[in-house]
Structure 1
């Protein structure tokens, strides 16, 4: 199975304490070690990873739609902190009494780290992650277009959110991904064994319109309302040397790894931003090791 991508084995929704629902998709043994997956920008729950390795590793992978995306109800007032509360409810609603680790890919990174800072997860793996782009040490490294978005998010977040809600869509996201990625990543994203699943997930992400994505973008591009320096659960950062870092970490996680106590940075020189699908087993094995060490 090329890239470890296949149809979800189980689908469902968990009702949160305020009555909203969060949609999820699952792969792997139902009694396996729970690993939550927070997908990239505007990507719905149906695109998982590592399907070839889940049974061998004993992993139950649960991909979660953020509010307003896919099968999850909207929450126009949400923040990164309320997302951690939602995930706490999700963990309880799924009966994950021993807790769960998390993988945050690309735009899912701040959402994963928010859960790590809140102690909602046992360990976190950030793969090709978006960084806290407002941090002073990154100011001179940002792509001009991204710097403009960061500035707009700080000066007029409501205006930026309204503009993205009006203009964004699945086709726009597909163009951005294929235009801003390294050629090796474009080859993967456009491969007939991967592209249909990815494009379907983007359509899912915009099924309710673009408001959910727009909120995600503003939350991610503003200063994060938690200190990554306060994270006490184990964190591993994965970056590909060929990833241009335009919409991910512009310095391949160097500053972020220094800021997160005890974090482990893995920069793979021959990989691009799509390493979640080319090095799935490595990511999962590393996360399981971290999660087990936290429980000892």
Structure 2
């Protein structure tokens, strides 16, 4: 996906827009997530809140989803080696998202002070399962 976006962002945007609906995204998430993530997604309270958010995201059509996906996959307009502040990386060890090529490169040394903070047995749902830890880390940096 990253290569596709780099080669032809307009075609990638059209492709993502063709895919886009709240139900299609939900089905993709549920069928591709590891069991630990599916347990969170299918929890009745989380599922209701998440599905509401996804329904709202697609309420005006798939263009926003398509654009967001292309932006997430596109090359960044700066050199990672130019980053001079500490970096904290948060991702699940089982996340296979192409977006993770960047954090894994950073953790591998493309940027200074890469600090991988990954979670075993988790995938893309880390932002919801470790929210407090992420926010506490950000606050610690701000201090």
Normalization by structure 2: what TM-score? 0.83
Distance 2:19 2:121 in 1: 35
Q: Does 1:234 align with 2:86?
A: yes
Distance 2:98 2:75 in 1: 16
Q: Determine if contact 2:2/2:98 at 8 Å carries over to the other structure.
A: no
Write out per-residue CA displacement over residues 179-235 of structure 1, whole angstroms, 9 at most, x where no aligned residue.
Answer: 111101001001102001101111111122111221222222232212222223332
Q: Which structure's CA Rg is the greater one?
A: 1
Q: Determine if contact 2:83/2:112 at 8 Å carries over to the other structure.
A: yes
Normalization by structure 1: what TM-score? 0.44
Distance 2:138 2:86 in 1: 9
Partner SS, residue 193 of structure 1: helix
Larger relative strand fraction: 1
Distance 2:22 2:113 in 1: 37
Q: Does 1:275 align with 2:126?
A: yes
Q: What is the match of residue 28 of structure 2?
A: 176
Q: Determine if contact 1:235/1:263 at 8 Å carries over to the other structure.
A: yes
* CA RMSD in angstroms, aligned pairs only: 2.2
CA spacing shift, 1:151–1:270, aligned 2, 3 Å? closer
Q: Does 1:288 align with 2:139?
A: yes
Matches within 5 A, 1:59-138: none
Cα distance, 1:153 vs. partner?
A: 1.7
In structure 1, the gaps of 5 or more residues are 1-148
Q: Determine if contact 1:231/1:260 at 8 Å carries over to the other structure.
A: yes
Q: What is the match of residue 256 of structure 1?
A: 106
In structure 2, the gaps of 5 or more residues are none
Cα distance, 1:287 vs. partner?
A: 1.3
Cα distance, 1:158 vs. partner?
A: 1.4
Residue correspondences, number: 142
Q: What is the match of residue 16 of structure 2?
A: 164
Q: Determine if contact 1:169/1:206 at 8 Å carries over to the other structure.
A: yes
Matches within 5 A, 1:128-207: 149-207=1-59
Asked which structure has the greater RCO (Cα within 8 Å, sep 6+), the reply is 2
Larger relative helix fraction: 2
